[in-house]
């Protein structure tokens, strides 16, 4: 039984717990080997390298892109990474080797960036292509750092491990992502060593260009398929739960024992990723189950995501959502009865590279919900130039999800729970598949709506 494990950044920053709870195990795992680990960068490192994933706070990439002094940023980064190393000395990390490795990698990156800067200044190569290359180079540093350290710690704790560096930093051969993974794992005997692979993989198509910040889960997915894994396991710092315990309280939040890929896709669409959808789909097609586990509760079996799972009883399993969206409405009294009226609206969104989360229509209006970070004055200006009336507002989206919620009264109970808290539903959507009831509400009602829906639907008698 060969399994592939993905370790998230927050868990990697508590590597002592990863070592004790996952790799060695509590109780000790029957077989240390026949497992592959794919690691993220330590917590916040990729934010420092690129930009903060949630706040947008600029990192080294932004300094390079804006033509500002990035060398000082690299020096500061190296100091931080060496600091992380020194925090792991008690785990038997060889500080001399670890500091030398990351120092060399940062200096290699600096040399590449200087060369890219000179090429960009020449005007012979597309600025966008240069910036994409810089983003790839910087992103790879974090995973190389954590993977090297992990192997060093394992070896020094008597566990044979192999550093699988998929970053290709000194490799000038043109390989696709799949080719590089195939070559890296082709000669390994998984029964006698634990391969620890970088979450970043260099490839001719550009993993950042294709998947941006979801690249480590894509690497994890591709490795699982390459080696024919029995199961793909993702270790996070939390359970996939019925609702966010930080909002509803621990007593009203419980781990979800099982769900299916459809529900996982619904969660990803609202930013609550169990796994990146571009990573989960190949696993689904390959028949490889995904298990989400809590690093800090190793005895819990976690959440098993499979293709055909459906709950024995019809009930809502998860309440989730986001308060970082904008709802906009296009209204036109001449829309009614016109075939394909919304086609041009879809083309406008495509031009602005925006994917919508929700769409609701009636005879003469179309309401759509998009991420606030994607909304721009340029989009609204173009829409107002095309349509009779356009309005937008900051909003929140709350969702009730489940593998088997197709029963009379589910929607009514959800609406009643919100009404009892005097929360107005401003738009609503549910497809024929009935795995996700979506409600657009005022942003200030978000937390109260999550609590109300969770108690009414997940803890109903």
Cβ-based burial of 123 (10 A; exposed 0-12, middle 13-18, buried ≥19): exposed
- For residues 225 and 62, give the distance between their C-alpha atoms in angstroms, rounded to a whole number: 34
Cβ-based burial of 34 (10 A; exposed 0-12, middle 13-18, buried ≥19): middle
pLDDT at 276: 83
Q: What is the mean pLDDT of residues 418-438?
A: 95
Asked if pLDDT for residue 287 goes beyond 60, the answer is yes
Q: Where would I find the beta strands (DSSP E) of 167-230?
A: 194-198
For the ranges 22-26, 360-364, 437-441, the one whose mean pLDDT is highest = 437-441
Domains identified in the chain and CATH numbers:
3-237 (3.40.1160.10), 318-458 (3.30.2130.10)
Mean pLDDT of the chain: 93
pLDDT at 245: 92
pLDDT at 210: 85
- For residues 116 and 441, give the distance between their C-alpha atoms in angstroms, rounded to a whole number: 47
253 neighbors 245 (Cβ within 8 angstroms): yes
pLDDT at 334: 86
Name the percent of the chain lying above pLDDT 70.
99
Q: What is the mean pLDDT of residues 373-396?
A: 92
Q: What is the mean pLDDT of residues 204-214?
A: 88
- For residues 113 and 131, give the distance between their C-alpha atoms in angstroms, rounded to a whole number: 10
pLDDT at 461: 41
For the ranges 27-36, 334-343, 421-430, the one whose mean pLDDT is highest = 421-430
Could you tell me which residue, 189 or 270, shows the higher pLDDT?
Answer: 189
- For residues 401 and 315, give the distance between their C-alpha atoms in angstroms, rounded to a whole number: 9
Q: At 363, is the secondary structure helix, strand, or coil?
A: coil
Task: Categorize the per-residue pLDDT at 460 as very low, low, confident or very high, splitting at 50, 70 and 90.
Answer: low
Residues 6+ apart with CB under 8 A from 306: 258, 260, 261, 289, 290
Name the percent of the chain lying above pLDDT 90.
80
Q: What is the mean pLDDT of residues 313-336?
A: 93
Residue in the block written with tokens 């993220």: 40
Q: Which range, of 93-102, 161-170, 202-211, averages the lowest pLDDT?
A: 202-211
Q: What is the mean pLDDT of residues 331-352?
A: 89
Asked if pLDDT for residue 407 goes beyond 60, the answer is yes
Cis, peptide link before residue 456, omega less than 30° from 0: no
Task: Categorize the per-residue pLDDT at 359 as very low, low, confident or very high, splitting at 50, 70 and 90.
Answer: very high
Asked if pLDDT for residue 248 goes beyond 90, the answer is yes
């Amino acid at each position: 039984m060969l399994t592939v494990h993905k370790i998230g950044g927050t868990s990697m920053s508590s590597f002592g717990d990863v070592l004790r709870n996952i790799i060695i195990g509590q109780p000790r795992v029957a077989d240390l080997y026949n497992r592959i680990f794919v690691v993220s960068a330590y917590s916040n490192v990729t934010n420092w390298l690129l930009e903060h994933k949630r706040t947008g706070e600029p990192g080294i990439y932004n300094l390079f892109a804006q033509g500002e002094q990035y060398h000082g940023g690299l020096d500061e980064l190296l100091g931080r990474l060496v600091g992380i190393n020194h925090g792991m000395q008690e785990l038997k990390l060889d500080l001399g080797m670890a500091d030398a490795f990351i120092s060399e990698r940062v200096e290699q990156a600096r040399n590449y960036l200087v060369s890219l800067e000179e090429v960009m200044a020449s005007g012979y190569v597309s600025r966008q292509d240069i910036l994409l290359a810089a983003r790839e180079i910087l992103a790879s540093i974090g995973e190389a750092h954590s993977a090297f350290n992990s192997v060093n710690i394992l070896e020094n704790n008597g566990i044979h491990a192999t550093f699988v560096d998929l970053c290709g930093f000194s490799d000038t051969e043109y390989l696709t992502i799949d080719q590089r993974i195939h070559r890296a794992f082709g000669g390994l005997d998984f029964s006698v060593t634990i391969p620890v692979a970088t979450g970043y993989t260099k490839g001719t198509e550009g993993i950042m260009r294709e998947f941006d910040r979801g690249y480590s889960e894509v690497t994890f997915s591709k490795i699982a398929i390459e080696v024919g894994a029995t199961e793909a396991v993702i270790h996070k710092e939390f359970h996939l739960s019925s609702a966010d315990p930080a909002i509803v309280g621990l007593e009203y939040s419980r781990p979800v024992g099982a769900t299916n890929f459809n529900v996982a896709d619904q969660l990803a669409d609202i930013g609550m990723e169990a796994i990146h959808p571009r990573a989960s789909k190949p696993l689904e097609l390959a028949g490889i189950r995904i298990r989400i586990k809590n690093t800090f509760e190793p005895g819990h079996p976690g959440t098993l995501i499979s293709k055909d799972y459906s709950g024995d009883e019809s009930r809502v399993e998860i309440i989730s959502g986001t308060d970082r969206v904008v709802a906009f409405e296009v209204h036109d009294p001449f829309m009614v009865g016109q075939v394909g009226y919304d086609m041009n609206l879809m083309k406008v969104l495509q031009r602005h590279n925006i994917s919508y989360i929700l769409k609701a229509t009636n005879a003469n209006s179309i309401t759509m919900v998009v991420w606030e970070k994607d909304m721009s004055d340029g989009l609204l200006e173009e829409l107002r130039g095309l349509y009779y009336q356009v309005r937008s507002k900051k909003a929140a989206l709350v969702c009730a999800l489940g593998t088997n919620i197709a029963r009379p009264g589910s929607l009514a109970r959800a609406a009643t729970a919100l009404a009892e808290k005097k929360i107005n539903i401003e738009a609503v959507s549910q497809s024929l598949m009935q795995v996700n009831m979506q409600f657009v509400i005022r942003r200030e009602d978000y937390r109260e709506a999550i609590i109300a829906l969770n108690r009414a639907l997940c803890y109903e008698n």
